[in-house]
Amino acid sequence: MTSILITGASSGLGAEMARQFAALGHDLALCARRTDRLDDLRAEIGAAHPGVRVVVTALDVTDHDAVFAVFEELAAELGGLDRVVVNAGLGKGQPLGTGRFDANLETARTNFIGALAQTEAAAAIFRRQGRGHLVMVSSFSALRGMPGNITTYAATKAAVAHLAEGFRADVHGTPIKVTVLYPGYIVSEMSGTSRRTPLMTSTEKGVRAMVEAIEKEKRSARVPAWPWAPLGFVVKRVPVGLLRRLT
């Protein structure tokens, strides 16, 4: 049994990760802005897995002081943190130069600066403990600069992947582990308004692939492996004109 902190746990991938980790017997610290949803999720998990401890707390990852305070409070309450999943994110964005800097700035603040705060807070705890597992939820879109509404989103997801990889290099040779996940199209609240494609995977199936990669402490994983592992090879090399039609 391990203690796992998940941010952005009130819906979508975060909530489903909580369900699946609870089924494996892990204790959970769940954070999000919408505490009513966290309370419902805690009740659901408690009914299904009464032996699992679930602690919930409100957290806006753009409130950087709160990130550090909440992570420390949860570590103290659970007697340490074995794993932190940096999952909170925002899918908002607009094409560059179209007068919507506000949307792109909000995306950058949440997805990168917010993730930086979470990584700093987790890393401090792991260094003090001498152990831990950082899980960074990036995106398949991070593999290459993307056009349109996801340009800034993709850039932030590339940045957080590099952030996690840099931390991995720092702690190489220690019991601290780092996993970077690159999810493909998985049904979630964030993808709800996105164009559906035959490549879209159900939340349960997509998160199962994520949880399996995390449990194996993989360095990185494109999830689900099919078709996203081979598609990664293609996307990095496809001409720009074709890339625009595919996204």
Q: Catalytic one among 21, 140, 153, 167?
A: 153
Cβ atoms 118, 112 nearer than 8 A: no
pLDDT tens-digit series, residues 98-139 = 999 999 999 999 999 999 999 999 999 999 999 999 999 999
pLDDT tens-digit series, residues 160-197 = 999 999 999 999 999 999 999 999 989 876 654 445 56
Which phi and psi (to 5°) does residue 14 adopt?
Answer: -65, -45
H or E, element range at 123: helix 114-129
pLDDT tens-digit series, residues 89-108 = 998 899 999 999 999 999 99
Q: Quote the CA–CA distance of 43 and 37 in Å, as a whole number.
A: 10
pLDDT tens-digit series, residues 187-223 = 876 654 445 566 788 999 999 999 999 999 999 999 9
Amino acid residing at 246: L
Report pTM. Answer: 0.91
Catalytic site includes residue 153:
yes
pLDDT tens-digit series, residues 45-79 = 999 999 999 999 999 999 999 999 999 999 999 99
For the cut 90, the answer to whether the pLDDT of residue 232 exceeds it is: no
- Answer positive or negative: Cα dihedral of 226, 227, 230, 231: negative
**DSSP structure string for 185-240:** SB-STTTTTSPP-TT-B-HHHHHHHHHHHHHTT-SEEEESHHHHHHHHHHHTTS-H
Residue with tokens 């340009």: 151
